[in-house]
Structure 1
Amino acid sequence: MRKRIYLEQGSLALAAFVTGIMAGFFWTYTFNVNLAMLEVDGETYATVQSLFNENVRHPMFFTFFFGGGAVSLLALAANWRRDRTLPFWLIIAAGALYVGGIIIFTAKVNLPLNDYTESWNPQALPTDWKATRDAWNEANALRTGTSALSFILYLVALAIHPSKRH
C-alpha cells in the first residue's frame, strides 16, 4: 500500500516539477526576453531570435519539453485507481492542457513562425517582420498561461490527493 502511495504522489510531484520548470521557462521568456526584444531594431531581432531558436534545441530542453507529456501519462497511469476522485480529473486536465497547449500548439504555431524567422536575411527583412514577432510573442504568452495552469492543476491534485488522508 505504501509503495502505491509513493508512486501516486511521486508521479504527481514529478509532473508538477517538470511542468513547473516549463512554466518558468515560458514565463521568463514572455516577461523578460520578449519585452527586451520589443526594444531592438529588426536586424537585431532577426539575428537574436534565430540564435535563441538554434540554441534552445538541446537535450535538457527537449527532456523537459517532451517530458511534460510523458510524466502526465505516468501520473495518470499511477493514479488510475483514483478515477472517482477530483485529483484524478485534475491530472487529466493538466495533462491535456500540457500536451495540447504546449506540445501540439508549439508544433502548429510557434515552430512554423520560428522556421519563417530563421529564413530571414537580417539586412533585408520582410515587411511583416513586426507582425510575425508580435504573433510569436502572443503565442508564447499563451504557452505561458497554459503551462502555468497545468502546473497549478498538478499542485492542487497533489495537495488534495486522497492518499493524504491515510
Structure 2
Amino acid sequence: MRHTPTSLAFHVLAVVWFGIMAGFFGTYSFNVNFATLQMDGATYAIVQSSLNRNVRHSLFFVFFFLPPLWCVLAVALDWQRRGWCLLLSVAALLYLGGIIFLTREVNLPLNAYTESWNPDALPADWEQTRRAWGQANMWRSVASATAFVLSVLALALRGHGTPARVN
C-alpha cells in the first residue's frame, strides 16, 4: 500500500517546522542565554524585554504553533500505518507539552514579570528569574530537538514502507 502524497507532504512540513524550532530554541539557549548571563541586571532587563517583545510576530507564531497540526494531518491521512505514525504522534505530543505548554506556564509569566521591571530598580529576585527563564528555555530546546529527531526517524520508517496494519 502506497503512502498518500498529501500525508507525506504534511510529514515533511512537520520535519522542517520542528527543525526550524529546534534551531531557534537551541540557538537561543546556547548563545543568547549564555550571553545574558554576562549582563548586569539593568542591561539584562532591557535586552530580555526587547527580545520578548520582538519575537511576537506572525511568522514566529506560524512556526511556533503549526508543527503539531502538520503531524495530526500527516497521521490522519495515512493512519493505518504502524511505526512512523506512532513516532510522529509522540513528537507532536512532546512538542505540545515541552514547547507550547511550558511556554504558556513558565516562560510567558516570566516574560511578563521581566517586562514589568524598572531597570534602575530591579526586584531582589532578578537573577533567580533569569536562571529560571534560561532553564525553562533549555527544556524547550531539548523538547524541540527531540521532536525533530523523532519526526526524522518517522520519515525514515515511512521510507522503508512499514506494512499497513492487518485487521
TM-score by length of 2: 0.92
Say whether 1:5 aligns with 2:23: no
Q: Deviations over 1:85-108 (max 9, x none)?
A: 111110110010011111111101
Task: Give the aligned partner of residue 69 of structure 1.
Answer: 68
Q: Secondary structure at the match of 1:81?
A: coil
2:97 alignment partner, one of 79, 100, 103: 100
Say whether 1:138 aligns with 2:135: yes
Contact 1:11/1:78, CA 8 A, preserved across alignment: no
| Structure 2 unaligned blocks of 5 or more | none
Say whether 1:157 aligns with 2:157: no
CA distance in 2, matches of 1:26, 1:162: 28
CA distance in 2, matches of 1:162, 1:151: 17
Give the number of aligned pairs.
163
Contact 1:72/1:91, CA 8 A, preserved across alignment: yes
Task: Give the aligned partner of residue 120 of structure 1.
Answer: 117
TM-aligned CA distance change 1:163 to 1:5, over 3 Å: farther
Contact 2:25/2:140, CA 8 A, preserved across alignment: yes
CA distance in 2, matches of 1:102, 1:115: 18
Task: Give the aligned partner of residue 78 of structure 2.
Answer: 79
Pairing 1:33-44 to 2, within 5 Å after superposition = 33-44=32-43
Contact 2:87/2:150, CA 8 A, preserved across alignment: yes
Counterpart AA for 1:64: F
Q: Secondary structure at the match of 1:76?
A: helix
| Structure 1 unaligned blocks of 5 or more | none
TM-score by length of 1: 0.92
Say whether 1:110 aligns with 2:107: yes
Shift of 1:164: 3.9
CA distance in 1, matches of 2:96, 2:60: 16
Percentage of pairs with the same residue: 51
Q: Over aligned residues, Cα RMSD in angstroms? A: 1.6
Q: Deviations over 1:122-154 (max 9, x none)?
A: 110001000000000000000000000000000
Shift of 1:72: 2.2
